[in-house]
Chain A
Amino acid sequence: MADIITLGIIALYCIMLIGIGAWASRKILNTEDYIVAGRSLGFWVFTILMVASICSGMTLLGVSGLGFATGWPTIWEQIFLPAAAAFCITVFGMKLHTVGRDNGYLTLQDYFAHRFESVRYLRGLSAIAGIVVSVIYLVGQYTAISIVLVWLFGIPHWQALIIAGIIITAYTVIGGLYAVSWTTLIQGLILIFGVIAIAPILIAKAGGLTYINTVLAGIDPNFVEPYFPSPVYAGYAFATPEFLFSFGILLMVGLACAPHVINNVLAARETKYFKWAPLVAFLIYLVVMFLVKFVGFAVRVLVEEGHVVLPDVVNRGDFAFIVGVEYAAPNVLIWAFFAVIVLAAVMSTTDRLMLTIGTMFSWDIFKNILHRDAPDKQVLLVSRISVFLAAVVSLLLAINPPEMLAWLIWMGIGVMLSTFAVPIIAGLYWRGATTKGALAAMATGLIGSGVFGYYYQYIDTLPVHFSLYSLTLALIVMIAVSLVTAKNSQKALDETMTGWYIFRRR
C-alpha cells in the first residue's frame, strides 16, 4: 500500500510526463510532425520505442504471472515477444520505411491504399479494423494500469482509471508522437534498468536459480520441461507443442503487424538504423523478459514456502511481480521507484495505442475518405479530438474488466494477426496479390477471428490458438481471390517495391 513517499514520487513522475508533452507540443507544426514525429527518431529512440510499444502492461504483470502459474513450458513467450520486434523491423519495417519515405506515408493504411490502388475501400476497411483491434487491446491496457493503481493506493477501480486516463491523454493529445516517443524512451530505460537491478536480488532471496528450479520440479515435474505433454491433466498445462507453435506465430507475427507497432517504422530518421536495430531490440528485450519470467518463478517459490502471500483473486498470478518487488525492495524509496516501473510499462503501450487510433481516424478516415480537401490544421485538430475520444471510449469499456486479462490481450493480438498479417506479407512480397484479394483476406481474417475466438472461448477448446485457423483461412482466401481477379498496375507494384526481395534493387 502506498505511503506519502510513493505518492510523491509517482506524482513527480506524472508531472514529468506531462512536461515532456508540453515541450513536444512546441515542435509540432503540422500533421506529419504529430503522427510520425517529423520522421526524426534517432537510433535509440526508435529501437526503444519498438521494444516498449510491444512491452505492454501485461508483459510485466502477465509474464511473471504466467511464470508463476506454469513454469518453464511457457518460457517460449519470452523468446517470441523479442522476436516480434526483430520480425517487424526486418520483414516489414525495412521495405515500409523505404517506400514510406519516398511516398510520404504517415500510416500503414497509406501503404495499403498505394500498393493495392484502393484509396477508399481498403484504406477504410483496414482503418476500421485497426481501430477495433486497438480498442480491444487498449481496454486490456487500461485494466492493467488499474490493477497497479488499485494495488498501490487502495482506491476504487474507476478512480484509478480516470487518473490514468487523464495523465496519458494529456501528454498524448498535446505532444503527439514526439511526446509518446520521448516519454517511451524514458519509460523504457526505467523499465530495462529497473528489471535488471531488482530481478537478481529477488532470485537470490528465493534461493538462487538452481534452488528455484528444484522447488518448481517438486511442485510439478513438467515445470522444468520445455513443454507440457498434454493439456488435460491441469488447467495451467495448455502449453503443448502444437499450442506453442500457434502461440509463436500469434506473438511474433501478430504483434509485428499490430498497428501501434508497425507504424513506428515510418518514424525512423534513417534507413541504416534497420541494420542493427533488430538485433539490439531482440537482445535488450530478451534479457528483460527472461528476468521478469524468473521473478515469476521466484515468487512461486516464496509463496510455496510461505514468505509472501498473493491476494486471493482469480488472477492472483498477475500480482506476482508487484508482491515480489515489494518483498525484495530493501526500503520504501526503492519500492516507490518500482511502482513507477510498473506504471511505465503499462503507460508506454497505452499512449502509443491511443495515438494510433487517433491517427487512423483523423488521417485515414477523415482526411483521406470523408474530407479530402481538409486543411492541415483541421486534420491536426481532429487527430487530437480522436485521441481524446479513444481514451473516453476505452475507459468506459474498461470499467467492467474481464476476469481474464491475458485472454483479452491475446484475443486482441489474434484479431490483429488474422486481419493484417496476410495483406501486409502478400502485399510486400507477392506481385500477384490483388486489391480484391487483400479486401477479401482482411474481411475474412476479421470476421473469422471473431467466429473462432467465440468458439474457443464459449463453446469448446481448440488444440491451437484460435487465430491460427482464421489466419489460414485469410491466406487461402487471399491466394484464391488474387488468382482470379485483376492484377494491380506495374507502376504501383514498382513504386511500392513489391516482390520477393527486401533491399532496394540497384
Chain B
Amino acid sequence: MPFGLQPHTILAVGVVTLIIIILLVIWALRFPEDD
C-alpha cells in the first residue's frame, strides 16, 4: 500500500483536490483584463 494508505483513499483525496485546483486555474485564466 502506498504510504500505508488504501489506494482509493489517495485517489479520492487527490482527484477532489486536483479538480478544485483546475477550476481555480480556469477562473484565473478567464479573468477579464482591466478596462
Contact = CB atoms under 8 A, between A and B. Distances in A.
A278 B27 CA distance: 9
Given A83-B20, A86-B20, A226-B13, A272 B34 contact: yes
Contact of B9 (A90, A209, A226, A274): A226
Interface string A261-295: 00000000000101110110011001000000000
Contacts of B21: 279, 282-283
Interface stretch (A43-51, A119-127, A210-218, A370-378): A210-218
A253 interface: no
Contacts of B5: 72, 213, 224
Contacts of A322: none
A503 interface: yes
A209 B21 CA distance: 24
Contacts, number: 62
Contacts of B34: 272
Contacts of B1: 213, 224
Given A75-B13, A226-B12, A274-B31, A282 B24 contact: yes
A503 B32 CA distance: 8
Interface in B1-35: 1, 3-6, 8-9, 12-13, 16-17, 20-21, 24-25, 27-28, 31-32, 34
Nearest to A218: B4
A275 B16 CA distance: 21
Interface size range of chain A in the complex: 20 to 34
Contact of A279 (B9, B17, B25): B25
B4 A79 contact: no
A304 interface: no
Contacts of A224: 1, 4-6, 9
A317 B3 CA distance: 24
A458 B34 CA distance: 54
Report whether over half of chain B's contact residues are helix, strand or loop; otherwise say mixed.
Answer: helix
Contacts of B24: 86, 90, 278-279, 282
Nearest to A213: B4
Contacts of A212: 4
Interface in A179-238: 209-214, 216-217, 224-226
Contacts of B9: 72, 224-226
Interface in A40-72: 72
B31 A210 contact: no
A90 B9 CA distance: 28
B24 to A, nearest CB: 4
Contacts of A214: 4
A286 B8 CA distance: 20
A213 B28 contact: no
A213 B3 CA distance: 7
Interface string A488-506: 0000000000000001100
B6 to A, nearest CB: 5
Given A79-B17, A86-B20, A282-B21, A276 B28 contact: yes
Given A86-B24, A278-B24, A283-B21, A211 B6 contact: no
Contacts of B12: 226
A503 B27 CA distance: 11
B20 A226 contact: no
A76 B9 CA distance: 11
A224 B8 CA distance: 10
Interface of B: 1, 3-6, 8-9, 12-13, 16-17, 20-21, 24-25, 27-28, 31-32, 34
Given A275-B27, A278-B27, 15 more contacts: A76-B13, A76-B16, A79-B13, A86-B24, A90-B24, A210-B3, A211-B4, A213-B4, A213-B5, A214-B4, A217-B4, A226-B6, A275-B31, A278-B24, A286-B17
11 contacts: A72-B9, A79-B16, A90-B27, A209-B3, A210-B4, A213-B5, A214-B4, A224-B4, A225-B6, A226-B9, A283-B21
